[in-house]
Chain A
Amino acid sequence: MLILARKPGEAIAIGDGIKIRVLEIKGGQVKIGVEAPAEVMVHREEIYLRIVEENTRAAAEAPADLSSLASVFGGDKARSKPSPKSGK
């Protein structure tokens, strides 16, 4: 890991077109500004890891075919009762 010390207002340039700037340090928290092209995904690490984990699981569990799902939906759509759940 490359370690650089920055003061508020100072920035780090990554490649061509990505900049990380320290905006403010307050109350044990660092506010960071990120400039990057739209196609470069910028996320809090924990969200990034969560999505990688779930994408990987979904891809790994994806069956060879969906015949096992025929019984699950079975033409009786009343069995799937999506409820408006939110949060974790």
Chain B
Amino acid sequence: MLAMTTTTCTETHGEITVSTSRFGQLSVNPEKIITMTSPFLGFPDSKRFIVKPHGEESPFLWLQSLDDPKLAFVAIQAALLIPQYQPEIPGLTRQELQGSPEQPLEILLILTIPKENPEGMTANLLGPVAINSQKRLAKQVLQDPTRYDACWPVFTMDQTE
């Protein structure tokens, strides 16, 4: 599994080094690597990611692929953005993520941030990312399109609806 990355073991931590287009060479603790049980639709070759916080004052997270240096998603914890969001996680999916029925899963939302208009950023509520943090397994769990929007505006200036 490590064959696809450039591995450099440091003496103390056993960390591996991966190339990324946005962050250059990243030193990664193998115990932090999250594996997709099914890959993101559209990106079948990227199975491994790390979650890299943007910064202390920032709610944003990077989901950086370890298999494709150019691939990274901007994400945010669903609980921070929409506390009332309750995506459906089928029992079979929980099994796939090796989580028990009561075990809480971390839910991240992928953000689409238009280049010229960051305030027009949208969150994908149709395909949230469920993560079993203990087992470091994740999957994008598709929701009912009549309930949830793939392009949910993060900022609502006026409540027009």
Which A residues form the contact surface with B (CB < 8 A)? 38-41, 43, 46-48, 50-59, 61-66, 68-69, 72-73, 75, 79-88
Going nearest first, the 10 A-B pairs with the smallest beta carbon separation are A52-B42, A38-B96, A58-B112, A54-B150, A55-B42, A51-B127, A39-B38, A51-B41, A52-B41, A72-B118
- Of A54, A55, A69, A87, the residue contacting B43 (CB under 8 A) is A55
Contact between A54 and B151, CB atoms less than 8 A apart: yes
Chain A residue contacts of B93, Cβ below 8 A:
38
Cα of A48 to Cα of B152 in the assembled complex, Å: 18
Chain B residue contacts of A50, Cβ below 8 A:
126, 145, 150
Against A, the Cβ 8 Å flags (1 = close, 0 = not) of B119-161 are 1010010110000000000001010011111111111110101
- Of A41, A68, A83, the residue contacting B38 (CB under 8 A) is A41
Known A51-B140, A85-B153; further 6 A-B contacts with Cβ < 8 A: A38-B37, A39-B37, A50-B145, A51-B42, A54-B151, A66-B60
Tally of contacts, chain A with chain B, CB under 8 A: 124
Known: A52-B42, A79-B155. A87 touches B147 (CB 8 A): yes
Contact between B124 and A54, CB atoms less than 8 A apart: yes
Cα of A58 to Cα of B57 in the assembled complex, Å: 22
Chain A residue contacts of B118, Cβ below 8 A:
68-69, 72
Chain A residue contacts of B157, Cβ below 8 A:
81
- Nearest residue (CB) in A for B157 is A81
Cα of A70 to Cα of B93 in the assembled complex, Å: 36
Cα of A72 to Cα of B113 in the assembled complex, Å: 11
Contact between B42 and A72, CB atoms less than 8 A apart: no
B26 interfacial contact with A, CB 8 Å: no
B89 interfacial contact with A, CB 8 Å: no
**Chain B min CB distance to A50 (Å):** 6
